[in-house]
């Protein structure tokens, strides 16, 4: 059993932490973006160094007090909010924001866990390099949280998830010891790679304090196009054709349904209207090429061939970087429109790419049997990640359908499992999907997860209630 974070324990922490590390526990630290979780309170600390993080963890381990790591607070599955059990220490990384080193000659950056993702991108830009992890929340998400949840984003097709962009981590383990892994070596076969164990563990096995991040040469030429496709099956054929025509230059391939565009208009969010009539389905293709390449010409060649094959019926190729940004504005504003309308149930799922068209058709049919809903299905088609969100009809709110939420969620997740997919593509498990992991997870994998958790965190102090239950 864990003990609560009492005033007496706060005084104990004050013996190992400076006064500046203690913060007022405001509502911002007790709620998450979707309003589904509310924290129980606790003690908020914001260490300034790895040594201070280690001191907090050692004190918590000795007193059997739980620790909830807190990054940018942008997580969508409740991983940063403890709403059950004894009050915890909320450990915020907001003061550990340094970019410790940048080595463009070896495409390497060392950043502390509290560094804002957008600032990491800017630090890479200053040395003419690219850090390609790109998220809608990049202005407030912190790199430690991105790694703890193995964040995805729009560039996974070309550059991979957060896991693929990390060469090493520094972390404080549940006993307060510090694992130093910031050498940035690209080859190191000295036993188990604990970096990959902690990445995606959502703070349940330790606290990431810094990371060695992989940088890339910046593409010299950027381009984008919006193309109207007949249906998701045609979009998949276009994806394959783009790979043939563009080689490895395709960075993102986003599927957008008309519901997303309608939601933008409905919520008053201004976005450019690329076509006279709102298409049922369209894709956003983004490419980056080396010097001497002409993205517009290559995208026009792709469109011409796709049109001849009957895959696309209309399209717009960006003629400037400003127009490319305008295309991305459409895609990036859809989640905000979703938030304003309020979903009955939102789902971050991945489906085997070849089966996505069948899943979309089947899903709409099954949802219609539950009730009269709108579905906004969009996302990263190139890596199989769909944001499959179910909304009320105009004139109603999600509050009118609270009784339907568990039914809709179970339907979508059951169907995802039936199709061989995952109920958590890029948002993580957190507290929201713990039961889903137990229901759909492979038994052997779950047994290994529990064994690892018990071995590294036998007292269960690290983010209690998140990801896995004993």
Q: Which domains does the chain have, with CATH numbers?
A: 7-92 (3.30.43.10), 99-217 (3.30.465.10), 219-339 (3.30.70.2190), 342-428 (3.30.70.2740)
Model pTM?
Answer: 0.93
What distance in Å separates the CA atoms of residue 376 and residue 334, rounded to the nearest whole number? 9
Please, which pLDDT band fits residue 83 given cuts at 50, 70 and 90?
confident
How would you classify residue 224: left for phi > 0, otherwise alpha for psi between -120 and 50, otherwise beta? Answer: beta
Per-residue model confidence as pLDDT tens digits over 402-412: 999 999 999 99
Average pLDDT over residues 91-107: 98
Task: Check whether 170 has a pLDDT greater than 90.
Answer: yes
Task: Check whether 273 has a pLDDT greater than 90.
Answer: no
Task: Check whether 392 has a pLDDT greater than 80.
Answer: yes
Give the pLDDT score at 291: 82
Please, which pLDDT band fits residue 44 given cuts at 50, 70 and 90?
very high
Among 92-101, 264-273, 446-455, the least confident range: 264-273
- What's the mean per-residue pLDDT of the chain? 95
SS3 193: coil
Other residues' Cβ atoms within 10 Å of the Cβ of residue 326: 17
What distance in Å separates the CA atoms of residue 424 and residue 410, rounded to the nearest whole number? 13
Other residues' Cβ atoms within 10 Å of the Cβ of residue 159: 20
Instruction: Tokens for 362, please give them.
Output: 């089947």
SS3 367: helix
Contact 209, 144 (CB under 8 A): yes
- Which runs of consecutive H residues, i.e. helices, occur in 70-152? 117-126, 143-148
What distance in Å separates the CA atoms of residue 141 and residue 90, rounded to the nearest whole number? 17
Give the pLDDT score at 292: 79
Please, which pLDDT band fits residue 183 given cuts at 50, 70 and 90?
very high
Average pLDDT over residues 108-137: 96
Q: How far is CA 315 from CA 242, 356, 419, in A?
A: 14, 22, 31
Task: Check whether 164 has a pLDDT greater than 90.
Answer: yes
Give the pLDDT score at 130: 97
Select from 117, 149, 120, 123 the least CA-distant residue to 136.
117
What distance in Å separates the CA atoms of residue 74 and residue 192, rounded to the nearest whole number? 31
Per-residue model confidence as pLDDT tens digits over 309-326: 999 999 999 999 999 999
Please, which pLDDT band fits residue 211 given cuts at 50, 70 and 90?
very high
Please, which pLDDT band fits residue 268 given cuts at 50, 70 and 90?
very high
Q: How far is CA 254 from CA 57, 124, 135, 227, 393, in A?
A: 41, 25, 13, 10, 25
What distance in Å separates the CA atoms of residue 97 and residue 457, rounded to the nearest whole number? 27
Number of alpha carbons in the 13 Å side-chain half-sphere of residue 72: 27
Task: Check whether 251 has a pLDDT greater than 80.
Answer: yes
Select from 215, 285, 210 the least CA-distant residue to 251.
285
**DSSP 8-state assignment for residue 181:** -
Give the pLDDT score at 234: 98
Give the pLDDT score at 7: 95
């Amino acid at each position: 059993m864990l003990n609560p974070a009492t005033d007496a324990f706060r005084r104990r922490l004050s013996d190992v932490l400076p006064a500046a590390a203690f913060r007022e526990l405001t509502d911002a630290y007790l709620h998450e973006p979707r309003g589904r979780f509310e924290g129980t309170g606790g003690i908020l600390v914001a260490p300034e160094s790895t040594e201070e993080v280690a001191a907090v963890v050692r004190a918590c381990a000795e007193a059997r007090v739980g620790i909830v790591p807190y990054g940018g607070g942008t997580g969508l599955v409740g991983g940063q909010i403890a709403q059950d059990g004894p009050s915890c220490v909320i450990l915020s990384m907001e003061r550990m924001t340094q970019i410790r080193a940048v080595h463009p000659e070896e495409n390497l950056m060392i950043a502390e866990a509290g560094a804002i993702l957008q600032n990491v991108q800017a630090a890479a830009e200053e040395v003419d390099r690219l850090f390609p992890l790109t998220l809608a929340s990049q202005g407030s998400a912190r790199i430690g949280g991105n790694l703890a949840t193995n964040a995805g984003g729009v560039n996974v097709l070309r550059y991979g998830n957060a896991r693929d962009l990390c060469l090493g981590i520094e972390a404080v383990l549940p006993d307060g010891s510090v694992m130093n892994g910031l050498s940035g070596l690209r080859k190191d076969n000295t036993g188990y790679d604990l970096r990959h164990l902690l990445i995606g563990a959502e703070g349940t096995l330790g606290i990431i304090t810094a990371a060695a991040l992989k940088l890339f040469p910046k593409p010299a030429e950027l381009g984008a196009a919006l193309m109207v496709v007949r249906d998701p099956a045609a979009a998949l054929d276009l994806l394959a054709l783009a790979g043939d025509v563009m080689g490895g230059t395709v960075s993102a391939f986003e599927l957008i349904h008309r519901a997303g565009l309608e939601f933008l208009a409905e919520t008053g969010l201004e976005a450019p209207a690329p076509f006279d009539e709102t298409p049922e389905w369209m894709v956003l293709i983004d490419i980056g090429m080396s010097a001497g390449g002409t993205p517009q010409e290559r995208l026009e060649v792709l469109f011409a061939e796709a049109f001849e094959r009957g895959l696309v019926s209309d399209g717009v190729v960006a003629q400037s970087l400003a127009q490319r940004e305008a295309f991305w504005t459409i895609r990036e504003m859809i989640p905000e429109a979703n938030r304003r309308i309020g979903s009955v149930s939102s789902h971050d799922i991945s489906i085997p790419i070849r089966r996505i068209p069948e899943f979309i058709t089947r899903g709409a049919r099954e949802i219609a049997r539950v009730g009269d809903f709108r579905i906004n299905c969009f996302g990263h088609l190139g890596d199989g990640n769909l944001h499959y969100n179910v909304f009320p009809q105009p004139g109603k709110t999600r509050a009118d359908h609270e009784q339907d939420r568990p039914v809709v969620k179970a339907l979508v997740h059951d169907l995802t499992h039936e199709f061989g997919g995952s109920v958590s593509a890029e948002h993580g498990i957190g507290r929201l999907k713990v039961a889903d992991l137990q229901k759909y997870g492979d038994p052997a994998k779950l047994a290994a997860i529990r064994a690892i958790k018990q071995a590294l965190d036998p007292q269960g102090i690290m983010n209690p209630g998140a990801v896995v239950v004993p």
